[in-house]
Chain A
Amino acid sequence: GENVEQHPSTLSVQEGDSAVIKCTYSDSASNYFPWYKQELGKGPQLIIDIRSNVGEKKDQRIAVTLNKTAKHFSLHITETQPEDSAVYFCAAPHSGYSTLTFGKGTMLLVSP
């Protein structure tokens, strides 16, 4: 099965700075890598994903990069704002199905 490692576990930045969260995966057959944002007391919200046929994808202030050779992918948030504060999870396909294996999460704190 898939194994996903996520770093760092906590990340504190000042408003306006950039934040980067990194994940590695083990299954070279994995081809889909979503990122979820979870606010306190809420469910995970899909914020961006990337498929293995591209190396980078952007959506306004967030971007995800993928290095298939090294089996790692990263989430980049630019011009961070206090409302970006949340726990972020990376994920990769679990076994041969559409289920997901998640990283342990990164708590991002953006200070005004």
Chain B
Amino acid sequence: NAGVMQNPRHLVRRRGQEARLRCSPMKGHSHVYWYRQLPEEGLKFMVYLQKENIIDESGMPKERFSAEFPKEGPSILRIQQVVRGDSAAYFCASSLTGTRNTEAFFGQGTRLTVV
């Protein structure tokens, strides 16, 4: 009974490169959320997706960031032309439903370092 799987666990990119972060939700979950955690800070919501649809992207930066959750395969968070300020831990969570009181389970995160 695998939990939320994220890969890679660690990712190093040079400024200007692209970063692709993958997330496979828990079995049976079709709701996926991406959060960003800056050093010594809490988790900030970025985007909420349900299979093939973006439900809420109010936390996503307007430029360079995009997310998708295709019908088949993992959810992808894509960061183009990375800058040093993108260095953070990116966490994916999944839930069974999209109701307001649903339990969300997190993956182990991808730690992105931009050099």
Contacts and interface: CB of A to CB of B under 8 A. Distances in A.
Interface of A: 6, 30-32, 34, 36, 42-46, 49, 51, 89, 93-105
Interface stretch (B11-19, B69-77, B79-87, B98-106): B98-106
Interface string B24-40: 00000001010100000
Contacts of A100: 33, 43, 45, 104
Contact of A89 (B33, B42, B55, B100): B42
Contact of A34 (B33, B58, B103, B107): B103
A99 B43 CA distance: 11
Contacts of A105: 41-42
Contacts of B48: 97-99
Contacts, number: 70
B113 to A, nearest CB: 14
B102 A43 contact: no
B108 interface: yes
B75 to A, nearest CB: 14
Interface of B: 4, 6, 31, 33, 35, 41-45, 48, 55-56, 58, 91, 95, 97-109
Contact of B55 (A30, A36, A97, A103): A97
Nearest to A9: B40
B1 to A, nearest CB: 15
Nearest to A93: B100
B105 A98 contact: no
A46 B109 contact: no
In the complex, the 7 A-B pairs of residues with the closest C-beta atoms, listed nearest first: A32-B101, A43-B106, A102-B42, A104-B42, A43-B108, A102-B43, A44-B106
Given A95-B58, A97-B55, A98-B95, A44 B103 contact: no
A103 B104 CA distance: 16
Contacts of B35: 102
Contacts of A30: 100
B101 A51 contact: yes
Contacts of B44: 102
